[in-house]
Amino acid sequence: MTKITPKRHSDEAPQLRTSLSRKALVLLVAIFLLLLWVPPLYQALAEFKESRSVQIAHIFTDFWRTPQQRAAELRELLSAPAGEYDGELVWLKALHINRHHLLDSTSAEGEYWLSLRGLSGSDADFEQRRSQALEHASVRSGRRASLYRVGEAFFKYTIFSSSYLRQWESVTEESSKFALATRPAMQWWRYQLFRDLGEKGVTATQGDWSFYRTGIDWTIIDPSLEPLPSLPLPSIWEFQHQLAQRDIQLLVVIVPNKSSVYPDYLSVTGEFRSRALPYLDTLRAQGVAVVDLFAEFAQARAQNDTVPLYLAHDTHWETRGVKIAAQAVAQQVRQMLPQSQSTEEYVERSCKVERHGDIIAMTQLEQASFMGWGLEFAPQVVECAQVYNLRRDSSGAVVDSILYKDNHRSSEILLLGDSFSRIFQSDAPRSAGLVAHIAKELQMPMASIVSDGGASTLVRQTLARRSGVLKGKKLVIWEFVERDLRFGAEGWLKVDL
Amino acid sequence: MVFSSHIFLFYFLPLFLLIYYALHWRGVGIAWQNQFITIASYVFYGWFVPWFVVLMWISTIMDYVAGRLISAPGASKFQRNAALTASVVSNLAILGFFKYYMFFMGGLNALLALMGLGPDYFAIMSVTLPIGISFNTFQTMSYTIDVWRGDAPPVRDMRTFSCFVALFPQLIAGPIIRYNTVAQQLEHRKHTLLRFSSGLMIFSLGMGKKILLANPAGQVADTVFAAQGMSTGVAWWGILAYTLQIYFDFCAYSDMAVGLGRMLGFEFIRNFNSPYRAQSMSDFWKRWHISLTTWFTDYLYISLGGNRVKTKSRLYFNLFIVMFLSGLWHGANTTFVAWGLFHAFFLIWERTRDRQPIYQRFPLVFRMILTQITVMFAWVLFRAQNLGQAWEYWRTMVGLGTPQVTAEMLPAVVFNPYLVFSILLAALISQLPWQAHTMSEKVTLPRMVFALSMLALAMVAMFTQAFNPFLYFQF
C-alpha cells in the first residue's frame, strides 16, 4: 500500500510575522483576555456587593433549587388568610414566581390558571378550592412529591432542555451589570452623533419628535408577505357574542398610532391611509360598534395643528388627544345607552407633569451618564387635566372634591384598555387619562381593566378570571392601539368568559 | 451558541481558553487536548438543541467506521466502495431528511392539489433543522471520500476524528474544512504566542465586522424586504444593505472561526477574498465562500468530468449541475435554487466567452460595478421569501414597481444617519484590497490596537442590539 501524505499545513497557511517583542505580545494577549473577563468579573463583584447568589452558577443548581423555591413561595402565597385573599393578585404573583423560575408565561398560565381561577372572592368553599389549587400547583410537601419534582426538574431546568437554556441565557444577558452600566452611554453617543434612537425608536424627519418603531413596522410590514400570526376579527366577534349573551354591548375603540396621525413627520407626502381602517370598516359592516379616532384626529389636526395630539418622545397621546378621544367615545356611548343617566358630577382641573417619554426610556437615554458628564435628557412638561368628583350637600354647595376613581359596583360601563388608558390615569398626575375623561364627559362612573400592550388578549383573560366585574354592566368599551392588531401581547386568542 | 453572544464571549470562550491552555502547559498529550475540544464543542453545539449532539455522534461513528473499512488492510474493492456508498448515502439521507423533507413534501402536496387531490394530501410532520447541518455533513463526507481516494490517511484514534467532526470554531457556519487539510494539525500542532496573537486579532476584527457593520445593514435589509411598494431608491438601498449584510455576516463568522482556530493552533482555509472586488461572475466565485466552491469543485465538478470533457455542452451541463446543487445546498426553497441557476446562467455565458464577461473591455471600475450589480440582482433571489416577491423587487429596482403610501415611511427608518454611516462604511471596507485575513498575517502594534479597539467597541455596541442574527446558521 502506498504511503499517503496529507496536505501539509504549510501548503495553505500564511506565514505569520510580527514586529513586536514577546513582552508586547503578552501584554496585548492579556488585554484581550481582560476584555473578555471584564463583564463577568464586574458581574461577580456586583453580585458579591449585593450579597446575591451568582446568576451564572444557577445553571448548575436550578434543577434542584427551582422546584424547591417555587414550591415554598407558592405555598406561602396560597396560605394567606382568606380575608386577605385576592385571586387576581395571587394569580399574578404565581405568574411572577414562575417567570422568576424560568418557566415561560404560557406554561405558567396553563399550570395555574385552572387551579387558581376559582379562588377569587370569599366563597364558602374557599378552603376546598385552595386545597385543590395547592394540589394542581403540585406544591404539596412530602418526599414522593419532592422526588418527582426533582426528577421532572432535571429535564426542565438543566442543560438538557433547550427552552431552559434559552431562558437562562436570556436572564443572564438581561441581568448583566456591565451591559446595564454601559448601554445608556452608548445609546447617548449614538443619539448625539447620529440622532439615532436604537432599534426601538425612529427620529422624525421634521420637528424634535420620535416615533415608536413597532408602530411604524405595523404600517410598513406588508401583510401579504408576513401574515398576522393570529387574526383579530374572529376574537372580536366572539367577544361581542359572549357579551351579547349577558345583554352587554361592545364598543371597539382602535387608537391610531402616532405615525398614522402624523405621517408627514416621517416624510409621507401622499394621502395616508392606516392599515387599521379596513378593520374598522369590516367591524362596522358586521354590526360591531366602533369609534373612528382616525377621522377625529385628522379633523382635529386640520382645525388646529399647533397643539399636538401626541407627546413628543412618547408613543402615547397628549392631553388634547385624550380629550378628543373621550369626547368621541362618550358621544357613541350616549347613542348606545340612551336610557342611562348622569349620576356623578365630575370637573377637571389643570396641572403639570414632566415626562421623558417612553421611547426615550426604552433607549435608556434618560439614564445616560458618562464619566460624570451631564448627559441628562430634558423631560417634556405636559399640561394635564385631572378629573375630580364633586360632592355637594343638600343645599348644593360643594363640600368635597376627590380625584376620580373607578367604581366597579355602580358603573354600567367597563373599559378594557392598554397603556393609552393607563397614561395620566394611573401614571402621574393620576385621574387625567382616558377613563377619567370619558367619565367626565358622561358624568357617569366607570370601571376599567388595563394591561400595557395586552389589550388584545390579556385584558380579556383578566376579565375572565374576574367575571364578577361584568355584573350590572351594560357596555364594554374595548380600547387598543392599532399596532396591536399585529403585535399585541399573546396575539388574539379566543378567551372563554 | 453564537460567537457574538454574551454567553460565548464572556463565559464559554474565556473558560475554554483557560482550561485548554492549562492542559497544554501541564504537558497533557494532544489526544487529550483534542478530547477536551470535542467535549467543549458538544456543549457549544448542544446549546441550540441538546439532543442534536446525538445526531452528531451517529454521524461521527458512521464515518469513522466507514473510514476504517475503506482503509482496512486487504480491503476488497467491493468493501471499499460499499463503505464509501454507505457513508455518502447516510450523510445525504440525514441532510435530506432534516433539510429537504418538508420542502419536497410541500411540493408534492402542491402537485397533488393541482391534480385535484386536496391541498394537504400527505400530512407533513414538522422537522427542526439542526444548526449548520449542511456544513457538518459536507465536512464529514469529505473525510470518507478523501480516504477512499487515497488523499488522506485514515484516522486511527476515535478521539481525533470526533474532534475533527465537532471542532466548534467552524462547526456551524464553516469554513468547510477538509480532513486532509487538518489531519496533521490534529496530531501535531504548534501553539505559539504569535499564532495566538494573530488569532485574537482576526477574531476581534471579525467581531467588529459582525456587530458594527453586518447588524446595522441587516436592520435595513430586513425592514425593506418586509415591505412592498417602496420607491426604486429604497429598493436599491435595501439590496445594497443585504449585499453588505450577507458578506460581513458570513465573512465575520469565517474570520472569527479562523481566529479561534489559530488560538488553538489550527489553520483553516480562507473563505473570502474581497468578493465585491470581482470583475466577473467567474471571478466572484473564486472569491466568495471559497471553502464551498472548492468542495464542489473537488468532489462534484471534477467527478463529473470537470473541464476535461469532450463537448462544450457537457461542460456547461456540469456547471449547471454544480450551481443548481449549490443553490439547493443553501436552503430548501425555490428562491435558493433560482439563485443557483441565475449564477449558473452567467457562469456558462462567461464560459462561452473564454471566462470573460460581456463588459470585459470596459475600464476596471466599470467591470467591478457591473459585476456587483449582477450579484445584487442575484441576492434578491436569495433574500426574498418567494419568487413572486423577488420578481416584484426586481421590477421595483428597474423602476417598474407600484409605489404605496405606506412605504413612504421607509426612508425615515432606513436612511437613519447611523444606518447610512454604517452601510457606507461597510461598502467602503468591502472595496479595500486588504482584509482582516491579510492584516492578521503580520502582527504589529497599530493593527493590534485597532483590532482590540474594534472588539471593545463591538462589545459595548452589542449590548444595545437586540437584532443579532447569524445568517448562515440556517444553512
Place of cell 494573530: B198
- B13/A6 Cβ within 8 A: no
- A204/B412 Cβ within 8 A: yes
User: Which one has a higher pLDDT value, B203 or B270?
Assistant: B203
Residues A126 and A248 grouped into a single domain: no
The reply to whether A17 falls in a domain is no
pLDDT of residue A416: 93
Asked if residue A2 has pLDDT above 50, the reply is no
Residues A329 and A289 grouped into a single domain: yes
Residues A190 and A253 grouped into a single domain: yes
pLDDT tens, A28-65?
Answer: 999 999 999 999 899 888 888 887 777 777 777 776 67
- Chain A, residues 244-303, CB within 8 A of chain B, namely 259, 263, 266-273, 275
The reply to whether A436 falls in a domain is yes
Residues A105 and A223 grouped into a single domain: no
pLDDT of residue A438: 95
Q: Where are the domains of chain B?
A: 6-188, 195-279+357-474
pLDDT tens, A330-385?
Answer: 999 999 998 888 788 899 999 999 988 888 888 877 776 655 555 566 788 999 99
Mean pLDDT value across residues B172-180:
82
- Cα atoms found within 13 Å of the Cα of residue B120, Cβ hemisphere only: 4
Q: What are the grid coordinates assigned to B323, written together? A: 450551481
Give the end of a domain, one of A132, A156, A174: A174
pLDDT tens, B417-473?
Answer: 999 999 999 999 999 887 888 888 899 999 999 999 999 999 999 988 876 666 666
Residues A311 and A431 grouped into a single domain: yes
pLDDT tens, B122-173?
Answer: 777 777 778 888 888 888 888 999 999 888 888 888 888 999 999 999 887 7
Q: Which residues on chain B are in Cβ contact (under 8 Å) with A187? A: 464
Residues A286 and A322 grouped into a single domain: yes
Contact A477, A333 (CB under 8 A): yes
Distance CA B310, CA B308 (A): 7
pLDDT of residue A85: 45
Share of residues in chain B with pLDDT > 90 (%): 53
The reply to whether A210 falls in a domain is yes
Diameter over CA atoms, chain A: 118
Domain that holds residue A441: 181-487
Residues A268 and A395 grouped into a single domain: yes
Q: What are the grid coordinates assigned to B412, written together? A: 425615515
- B5/A36 Cβ within 8 A: no
Annotate B37-57 with b (16+ C-beta within 10 A) or e (fewer): bbebbbebbbbbbbebbebbe
Q: Domain count of chain A?
A: 2
Q: What are the grid coordinates assigned to B463, written together? A: 449590548
The reply to whether A110 falls in a domain is yes
**Catalytic residue flag (residue B330):** yes
pLDDT of residue A1: 43
The reply to whether A22 falls in a domain is no
Q: Which residues on chain B are in Cβ contact (under 8 Å) with A32? A: 200, 204, 452, 455
Residues A139 and A233 grouped into a single domain: no
> By the CB < 8 Å criterion, does B76 face chain A?
no
Share of residues in chain B with pLDDT > 70 (%): 98
pLDDT tens, B105-114?
Answer: 877 888 888 7
pLDDT of residue B130: 82
- Helix or strand run (H / E) with residue B425: helix B417-430
Asked if residue A11 has pLDDT above 90, the reply is no
Give A296→chain B minimum CA distance, Å.
20
Place of cell 517583542: A21
Residues A185 and A161 grouped into a single domain: no
Residues A285 and A200 grouped into a single domain: yes
Q: Which of A9-18, A433-442, B104-113, B114-123 has the lowest mean pLDDT?
A: A9-18
Q: Which of A126-135, A153-162, A252-261, B353-362 has the lowest mean pLDDT?
A: A126-135
φ and ψ of A454, to 5 deg: -115, 20
pLDDT of residue B393: 95
Among A1, A3, A5, A7, the strongest candidate for a mutation testing the B interface, having the largest count of B CBs within 10 A, is A7
Give B58→chain A minimum CA distance, Å.
18
Asked if residue A247 has pLDDT above 70, the reply is yes
- A205/B412 Cβ within 8 A: yes
Give the end of a domain, one of A119, A143, A174: A174
The reply to whether A27 falls in a domain is no
Q: Which residues on chain B are in Cβ contact (under 8 Å) with A266? A: 408-409, 412
- Helix or strand run (H / E) with residue A391: strand A380-392
- B445/A169 Cβ within 8 A: no
Confidence of residue A453 (pLDDT cuts 50, 70, 90): confident
Give the end of a domain, one of A136, A155, A174: A174
Residues 6+ apart with CB under 8 A from B313: none
Asked if residue A5 has pLDDT above 60, the reply is no
Confidence of residue B335 (pLDDT cuts 50, 70, 90): very high
Q: What are the grid coordinates assigned to A403, written together? A: 380625584
Contact A451, A88 (CB under 8 A): no
The shortest CB-CB distance from B405 to any of A202, A205, A272 is to A272
Helix (H, G, I), strand (E, B) or coil at A415: strand
Interface predicted TM-score (ipTM): 0.86
Residues A113 and A209 grouped into a single domain: no
pLDDT tens, B187-213?
Answer: 888 899 999 999 999 999 999 999 999
User: Could you give the angle at the alpha carbon of A259 between the alpha carbons of A313 and B395, nearest 5°?
Assistant: 130
The reply to whether A166 falls in a domain is yes
pLDDT of residue A122: 40
Separation of CA B206 from chain center: 14
Residues A166 and A236 grouped into a single domain: no
Q: Which residues on chain B are in Cβ contact (under 8 Å) with A162? A: 48-50
